[in-house]
């Protein structure tokens, strides 16, 4: 083993810079945060070759004098912290004093600044000061970064393409602009203006301006509060992308990455067409959030996410009319408001999915009986086929629509059972011809005693005797009652998702085991019923566990596959 040695300051700076400066977007983020902390009202970002060649950030903030300028490029020198306890209530975007020295260590850096008095120009190469001279400049600061990673060829080699690096920078600038709508922002690339956002816009106006959205583009919002946290969500449900780069999460004005918040929002808003454009903005006391959890300050930690869930639910409630209009236009023959024409709705009860073994045998043919419902029901303008006894396939306005029959039925049952629980009604209960018997272990017996009343409200009729349960009735549409009850007990005993209520846990568990299975043959009426009931739910795109219920294969994709 080699002897232990102290690293040189140069190597230490390079290692530290690698944690803070990952790519050109990291540089832009740090410089923008410095500008905003300095009180800038106008910020301009100019790039060359996606920031790989040069980055220049100009602002009209407080600027610096000669002494502060020299200190600013020293590691761990900052104007934003004084005492250890300040770390517990950080109110600025920057605070560590690492950004400028880290950037300087891996680039050719020039800072031109003035605090309203004399101006100064500082030049550095690879972290070493090369020149400091007086210079003319109005109040504010211009930082120019050239040849990023020139002294780290391996890091420079693994930068992404110019277009990819530019897209990351666009995201950073947009996020800062959304957090500070009172500040003007502009982004230029190779002498071409990508966007210019004037000051004084509302956040919605800024999003519309940034993405060139027409005035009629639907936008829905929702707010939520809980335990000192307030959340506001703005969603453009019609603007969808395959990735999540056009989704912004702000915590106390800081653009962050939060897997928990992202999963809560996307779990309810994503669909087969992609992820929507949204902004989720949270406000909470500085002492309730840890912004020192990531070297580049990209992630934060705080405890309560209930406010986010409430904001999502409020936005989804406002989204239903907008989504209905869009789906009806996209998928011919679907009516989310009425589900189907009156003749179809009048017979819908006869077409509900059910467990064949759970109902009494049908009587023999009656010569005086009316014509079977199957031949009277409304026919879909586009046929719906069952493929491999697992998928429902039909044509949409843009391509082929493929529905996962199990996930779709899960969604339908989930909302049906949740409604029973919320309305304290066991409506839609179906009696079993032969009771199903379930033998419980000690934990399950304890759980049935605790959650039995809630399970009954969901639509089950249970007769409990010691460690044995007889299931006399199940919610309408449930195909495997014993499996559903055991799934409910397991879900409660293993600990539930904190974003789900007890009622949602019960409804999801029941739907999971009670839904039709893969490989289960459905009749034409059952296929139509399932298809249209899915699109009458509040969220036809996902099952209760977050899996997609349907996929769309566009005609463009099919043409590409066939080489057209």
Q: What residues does each domain of the chain span?
A: 9-81+89-197, 213-330, 343-358+373-553
Please state the rounded mean pLDDT for residues 281-290.
77
- Name the average pLDDT for the chain: 78
Q: Which helix (H) or strand (E) holds 142?
A: strand 140-146
For residue range 171-225, list pLDDT tens digits in order.
Answer: 999 999 999 999 999 999 999 999 999 999 899 999 999 999 888 788 889 998 8
Residue 296 has pLDDT above 70, yes or no: no
Give percent of the chain above pLDDT 90. 27
Please state the rounded mean pLDDT for residues 328-351.
39
What pLDDT, on a 0 to 100 scale, did the predictor assign at position 348?
34
Q: Are 377 and 525 in contact (CB under 8 A)?
A: yes
Tell me the pLDDT band of 94, cut-offs 50, 70 and 90: low
Winning range, highest mean pLDDT, from 206-210, 222-226, 434-438, 558-562: 206-210
For residues 478 and 351, the model is more confident at: 478
Please state the rounded mean pLDDT for residues 159-166.
90
What pLDDT, on a 0 to 100 scale, did the predictor assign at position 426?
56
Q: CA separation (Å) from 464 to 400, 434, 454?
A: 48, 16, 14
What would the two tokens of residue 336 be?
A: 């989310």
482-486, long-range: CB within 8 Å, 24+ apart, which pairs? 482/436, 482/437, 482/438, 483/513, 483/514, 484/509, 484/510, 484/512, 484/513, 484/514, 485/438, 485/455, 485/460, 486/438, 486/444, 486/513
What pLDDT, on a 0 to 100 scale, did the predictor assign at position 480?
81
Neighbouring residues of 67: CB distance < 8 A, sequence distance ≥ 6: none
Q: Are 384 and 392 in contact (CB under 8 A)?
A: yes
What would the two tokens of residue 302 be?
A: 């705080």
Tell me the pLDDT band of 560, cut-offs 50, 70 and 90: confident
Residue 330 has pLDDT above 90, yes or no: no
What pLDDT, on a 0 to 100 scale, did the predictor assign at position 340?
37
What pLDDT, on a 0 to 100 scale, did the predictor assign at position 148?
93
**Multiple choice CATH, 343-358+373-553, 3.40.190.10, 3.30.1360.30, 3.30.1370.100, 1.10.3080.10:** 3.30.1370.100
Winning range, highest mean pLDDT, from 66-80, 284-298, 383-397, 430-444: 383-397
| Helix, strand, or coil (residue 546) | coil
What pLDDT, on a 0 to 100 scale, did the predictor assign at position 15?
57
Beta-bridged to residue 163, according to DSSP, are none
What pLDDT, on a 0 to 100 scale, did the predictor assign at position 198?
95
Give percent of the chain above pLDDT 70. 75
Q: Which fold has domain 213-330?
A: Ribosomal Protein S5; domain 2 (3.30.230)
Residue 409 has pLDDT above 60, yes or no: yes
What pLDDT, on a 0 to 100 scale, did the predictor assign at position 337?
41
Please state the rounded mean pLDDT for residues 393-419.
86
For residue range 448-500, list pLDDT tens digits in order.
Answer: 888 888 888 888 888 888 888 888 888 887 878 888 888 888 887 776 555 56
For residues 370 and 222, the model is more confident at: 222
CA angle 349, 352, 354 (to 5 degrees): 130
What pLDDT, on a 0 to 100 scale, did the predictor assign at position 54?
96
294-302, long-range: CB within 8 Å, 24+ apart, which pairs? 295/19, 295/20, 296/19, 296/20, 296/22, 296/26, 296/29, 297/93, 297/94, 297/254, 297/256, 298/256, 298/257, 299/256, 299/257, 299/258, 300/251, 300/254, 300/256, 300/258, 302/229, 302/251
Q: Is 67 exposed, middle or buried (0-12, 13-18, 19+ CB in 10 A)?
A: exposed
Among 62-76, 361-375, 377-391, 509-523, the least confident range? 361-375
Tell me the pLDDT band of 36, cut-offs 50, 70 and 90: very high
For residue range 417-427, list pLDDT tens digits in order.
Answer: 888 887 766 55
Residue 313 has pLDDT above 70, yes or no: yes
What architecture (CATH level 2) is domain 9-81+89-197?
2-Layer Sandwich (3.30)
Please state the rounded mean pLDDT for residues 390-401.
84
Closest CA to 107 of 27, 222, 185: 27
Beta-bridged to residue 135, according to DSSP, are 119
Residue 355 has pLDDT above 60, yes or no: no
What pLDDT, on a 0 to 100 scale, did the predictor assign at position 9?
62
- Measured distance CA(269)–CA(316) in Å, rounded: 8
Please state the rounded mean pLDDT for residues 5-15.
61
């Amino acid at each position: 083993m080699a002897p232990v040695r102290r690293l040189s300051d140069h190597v230490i700076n390079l290692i530290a810079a690698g944690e803070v400066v990952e790519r050109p977007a990291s540089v832009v983020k740090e410089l923008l945060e410095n500008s905003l902390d300095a009180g800038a009202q106008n910020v301009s970002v100019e790039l060359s070759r996606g920031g790989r060649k040069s980055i220049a950030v100009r602002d009209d903030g407080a600027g610096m004098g000669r002494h502060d300028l020299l200190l600013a490029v020293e590691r761990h020198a900052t104007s934003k912290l004084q005492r250890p306890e300040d770390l517990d209530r950080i109110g600025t975007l920057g605070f560590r004093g690492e950004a400028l020295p880290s950037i300087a260590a891996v680039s050719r850096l020039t800072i031109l600044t003035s605090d309203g008095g004399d101006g100064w120009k500082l030049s550095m190469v690879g972290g070493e000061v090369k020149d400091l001279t007086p210079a003319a400049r109005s109040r504010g600061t211009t930082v120019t970064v050239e040849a990023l990673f020139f002294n780290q060829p391996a890091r420079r080699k693994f930068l992404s393409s110019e277009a990819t690096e530019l897209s990351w920078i666009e995201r950073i600038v947009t996020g800062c602009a959304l957090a500070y709508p009172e500040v003007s922002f502009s982004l230029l690339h190779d002498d071409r203006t990508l966007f210019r956002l004037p000051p004084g816009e509302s956040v919605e106006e800024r999003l519309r301006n940034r993405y060139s959205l027409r005035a009629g583009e639907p936008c829905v919002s929702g707010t939520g509060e809980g335990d000192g946290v307030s959340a506001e969500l703005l969603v453009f449900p019609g603007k969808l992308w395959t990735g999540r780069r056009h989704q912004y999460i702000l915590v106390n004005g800081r653009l962050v990455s939060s897997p928990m918040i992202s999963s809560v929002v996307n779990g309810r808003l994503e669909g087969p067409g992609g992820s929507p454009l949204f902004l989720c903005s949270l406000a909470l006391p500085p002492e309730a959030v840890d912004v020192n959890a990531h070297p580049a300050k990209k992630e934060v930690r705080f405890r309560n996410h209930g406010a986010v869930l409430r904001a999502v639910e409020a936005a989804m409630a406002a989204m239903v009319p907008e989504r209905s209009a869009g789906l009806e236009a996209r998928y011919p023959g679907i009516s989310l408001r009425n589900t189907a024409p009156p003749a179809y709705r009048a017979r819908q009860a006869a077409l509900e999915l059910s467990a064949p073994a759970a109902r009494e045998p049908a009587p023999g043919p009656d010569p005086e009986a009316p014509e079977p419902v199957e031949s009277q029901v409304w026919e879909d303008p586009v046929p719906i086929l069952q493929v491999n006894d697992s998928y429902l396939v039909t044509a949409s306005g843009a391509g082929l629509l493929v529905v996962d029959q199990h996930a779709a039925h899960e969604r339908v049952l989930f909302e049906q059972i949740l409604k029973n629980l919320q309305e304290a009604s066991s409506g839609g209960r179906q009696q079993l011809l032969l009771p199903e018997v379930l033998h419980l272990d000690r934990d399950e017996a304890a759980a049935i005693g605790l959650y039995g009343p809630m399970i009954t409200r969901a639509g089950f009729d249970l007769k409990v005797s010691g460690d044995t349960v007889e299931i006399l009735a199940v919610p309408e549409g449930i195909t495997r009652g014993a499996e559903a009850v055991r799934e409910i007990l397991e879900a409660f005993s293993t600990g539930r998702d904190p974003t789900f209520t007890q009622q949602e846990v019960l409804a999801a568990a029941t739907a999971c085991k009670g839904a039709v299975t893969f490989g289960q043959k459905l009749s034409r009426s059952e296929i139509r019923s399932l298809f249209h009931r899915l699109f009458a739910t509040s969220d036809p795109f996902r099952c209760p566990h977050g899996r997609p219920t349907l996929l769309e294969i566009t005609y463009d994709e099919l043409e590409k596959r066939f080489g057209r």
